Structures are given as C-alpha cells and as structure tokens.
Homo-oligomer: A and B are copies of this chain.
Amino acid sequence: MSDHSNYRPLDAMAYPRFAGIRTFMRLPHVTDLMGVDMAVVGVPFDTGGTFRVGARFGPEGIRQHSMLLRPYHPEHPIDIFKQCAGVDYGDLPVTPGYLPESHAQIEAGARPLFAAGVIPIFLGGDHSVSLPLLRAAAATHGPVALIQFDSHGDLWHGYFGGKDTHGTPFRRAVEEGLLDTTRSSQVGLRGSVYDQADMAMSQELFHVVTAVELHEIGVKETIKRIRQRAGHGPVYLTFDIDFVDPAYAPGTGTPEVGGFNGAQCLQLVRGLAGLNFIGFDVVEVMPAYDPAHITSLLAANIVYEFMALIALQKQT
C-alpha cells in the first residue's frame, strides 16, 4: 500500500526551493494513483491555437514558478498537505499537429484520474484541451457545472470551416451533453468579437458575468452569483489565463485588455470554497511571451488556490 504521507513537497528548510527536479511544488512524480487525493497533470497540447501558439510549454512554465509556493495557506487557513496527498502525475501524451488524435489521447489519459476519485488539476495547453477533459470528467461524474473564467466564451461553431480549435470547446461540450448549463457560469467575457451572435450565444447558454459587469458589481457579488448558480452538484472549473489583464498575464495566446488583476483572481477562486469540485484546469499560459515570468507565477498561484479548495473539501 502506498504511503501517502510522502505525497507532499520537499522540505524547503533542508533543500532550498531553487533546488531539485521541477515537478509542481516539488511534489513527488507519481503515476500510481493509490492514496492520491489530488494530482497536477500537464496537457502540453496547443494545436488548437488560432493566433499565437506555444501553450505546449505552459506546464513547464507553471511548474518552474511553482517553486515559490509554500504549503500553508494563511487565508483559509489550512495546511494543504496535512489534509490531502498531492502528486505531480507528469504530462499526458499528445500528438502535436493532430487535434482529433490528441483529444482522444487526452481523454484516455484523463479518464483513470477521475475514475480513481482523484481530483485532477490540469495545466494546459490551449483551451481546446478542456473538451476531452470534460469528456473524461463526464464519464465518471455525468454532466457537470462549468465555471469558466475567460475573456472569450469559446463557443464558436468553428473556425475556417467547421473545425475544432481553442475557440470552440464549450460549444462542443454543450452539444455532447457534458455540461449542466443550468448550473454553469462564464465570467470575464470582453473585447471585440466577430458579430452580435457571439455574445448572444454565451448569454443564451450560460450565466454570464461580463468583464464590464464584473468591474461594476465587484468580486463579492460575482462570487455570490456563481455560487448560487452552481448549487451542490459536481463542478469543473476552467481558468483561461487571458481572463487576467495582459499587464498581469502577458504570456498568453489571445490577450484582451481591460481585464482583472492578480488579487481579484485569488479572491474569486477563494470565494468558491465549499463547492463540489471534481476537476480544474488552467490553460493558455505561453512562456515565450512572458519575459518577466509573471504569467507563469500567477498561474502557479491559481493552481495553489485550487489545491486549497481541494484540501478544504477533503477536510470537511
């Protein structure tokens, strides 16, 4: 039997944080799921990107800057790894350049995690990866509520002739019945769009808090609305890093000005404590466009906030 008491980060007092192999937070790299409560899983796929590309290096960037994280979260407060066993599961295999094949690989790679009762935190990759991840989630949990932080709805029918891209995953997910849209929210939508129908689609399918609305009503009211909508059923949270303002997260594929700052992001995620999360992802981190590394650092902190939510879930 696996001794999950070792499934915690290296001790930074004995082994300085800049030392060691770059797993997330220097957690053990483990692919045996026995005794694992949560797992960080890379999904280095970016063939779905329609503007800048390079999110395949997102997992590398996020892991690299997760070195700065420490185990105790003072705001909830909770010592994360006293509540639950966490590991770095490594990356799922993909086939760069081949979207359908890769989506199949990603779904196949993610299914065992959900099936084993592990709560996975996926590191994208472009946003197209959320589709096979939701397929894998639904295989275990049935239709789930989606909480999507994003500057774009990603609900297009397709680009360039009906194809899947990082702009289409949630349209497909709705069509396939993977989502319980009555409990789902899209938060942070903004920026120019192709036509009037783009925004209408989001409004019709989901509960939407646009960026302009969020700036107007504030973080606390937004949290309240998301929670009310989400209810008690299973929830999958997807965080497109372009939700954040480009000043805070320049390293992404389709940055949109007029977004949110880091403190707001942390507060939003923390405010969702107590929902019934079954999986998370953070996507569209692109280190090649992140010269000061602040995008990867913020993404690592968002993953950390997810971990705290899981630890609180395991605690209760």
Contacts and interface: CB of A to CB of B under 8 A. Distances in A.
Given A16-B160, A93-B15, A248 B245 contact: yes
Interface residues of A, number: 101
A48 B293 CA distance: 22
A160 to B, nearest CB: 4
Contacts of A191: 70
A136 B135 CA distance: 41
A108 to B, nearest CB: 14
A213 to B, nearest CB: 11
A164 B101 CA distance: 13
Contacts of A14: 93, 160
A89 to B, nearest CB: 10
A258 interface: yes
Given A13-B160, A22-B60, A294 B196 contact: no
26 contacts: A13-B159, A14-B93, A15-B91, A15-B93, A16-B51, A16-B159, A17-B51, A19-B56, A20-B90, A21-B23, A21-B29, A46-B53, A49-B97, A51-B67, A52-B54, A70-B192, A70-B194, A73-B192, A79-B195, A96-B165, A97-B163, A97-B165, A98-B99, A215-B267, A246-B298, A259-B262
A-B complex: 10 closest residue pairs judged by Cβ atoms: A250-B292, A70-B192, A257-B262, A19-B91, A288-B288, A258-B263, A247-B248, A291-B291, A53-B53, A95-B160
